[in-house]
Amino acid sequence: MSIEASVGKSSAYVVSQCQDRYEHMAATRSESLKPAITISHQTGAGAHEIAEHLAQILQKTEFKGHSPWAVFDQRLIEEALEEQRWPKKLAEKITEEKRFFIDDLMDDLCGLRPPTWVLVPQVVETTLRLALAGHAILVGHGATVVTAKLRNVYHVRLTGSLQKRIERVQKLRNLTAAAAAKMVRKEDYDRRKYVKAHFHARLDNELLYDLVINTDHVSEGDVVAVIVEGARRFFSVL
């Protein structure tokens, strides 16, 4: 067995143990669980803007509480880095991608970023902790798969046609059509590989989600309204 395969199996074992531990914790706190939401998305489907808008609306609805709703996308990585006492600024260099062992090793030796076998389990731990605490909207980084067994989490998937997503990214990032297309395809590919490599799951498995929305012809406000209504019905049976 290669070193890379061995490290991958060890990381997967740690992740699995962490998930089992939090599932048990959730079962013992069933009466006091607070709602949380994950958003899985294709690049250019509007996830980050929708998540921020969603947090604002949830804070004004029956889901409000003593703690405000918060969005965790890059902040999720920042939290994980902070818990390992790595500088938060490293979050800018960390994306959802499958990295090779030698790249991780060299970056670790040079102090550029934590290796995958350290970072991924820590991101999983942070994701589960935030989901269990509630009032969190967790975007990407395998959050849907990681929290799949927590009964207080509502899972959303945002999709769209490739052309519409490229147009959205082109406008948002002020890119050429070619650059936007390259970015969308690369990020979609990296995200699929990341989830498959670390969690042995497929993002296009619709059974992972409670709600799937095609954002091509739906306004941001309407997407948020649909999510809020779906979440309201989901959490009413907790």
Check which CATH number belongs to the domain holding 91 and give it: 3.40.50.300
pLDDT at 23: 72
Whether 238 is in a domain gets the answer: no
pLDDT at 10: 47
pLDDT at 188: 93
What is the spatial distance between Cα 139 and Cα 143, in angstroms, rounded to a whole number? 7
Question: DSSP 3-state helix, strand, coil percentages of the chain (rounded to 5)?
Answer: 60, 10, 30
Domain count, the chain: 1
Mean pLDDT, consecutive 10-residue stretches, the chain (238 aa), reads 44 64 70 87 94 91 74 76 59 48 40 57 84 90 90 95 95 94 92 84 91 94 95 81
Whether 206 is in a domain gets the answer: yes
Residue 26 sits in which domain range? 3-232
pLDDT digits (tens, 9 = 90+) for 206-215: 999 999 999 9
pLDDT at 87: 54
Whether 18 is in a domain gets the answer: yes
Q: Where are the beta strands (DSSP E) in the chain?
A: 36-41, 70-72, 136-139, 153-159, 211-214
